Amino acid sequence: QVQLVESGGGTVQPGGSLRLSCAASGSILSIYGMNWYRQVPGNQRELVAVITRGGSTRYAVSVQGRFTISRDNAENTVYLQMTSLKPEDTAVYYCNTMDGRNNYWGQGTQVTVSS
């Protein structure tokens, strides 16, 4: 019912910046909010940032002050602006949302922070 497609991943040097995008389509009127998760291979998927339908945001402690989640309602797109990137930020980043019945996930986009 809802489709999510991430983009914007890539490789950057430590201290660099990257902006991820998540385009939503389908039955988007029913979604409650949007989230960004990340996952390192072999580890559990961790919540990074949240934005509610009302625009409130919250972040994992590890990214506070460095990452910003935002949205463009006209384009049904959610962004994750990442600055001051660290090697520890290297992961596959996933867009996530939910409606009254289901959770939805994008395919993930790889972010690599390396010298």
- Structure confidence by residue, pLDDT tens digits, 61-100: 999 999 999 998 778 899 999 999 999 999 999 999 988 8
Strands 103-105 and 91-98: antiparallel
Strand partners, 81: 19, 68
Cβ atoms of 51 and 72 closer than 8 Å: no
Angle CA 51–52–55, to nearest 5: 80
d(CA 101, CA 20): 26
Over the stretch 8-30, which tens digit does the pLDDT of each residue have?
999 999 999 999 999 999 887 77
Separation between Cα atoms, residue 67 and residue 82, nearest integer Å: 4
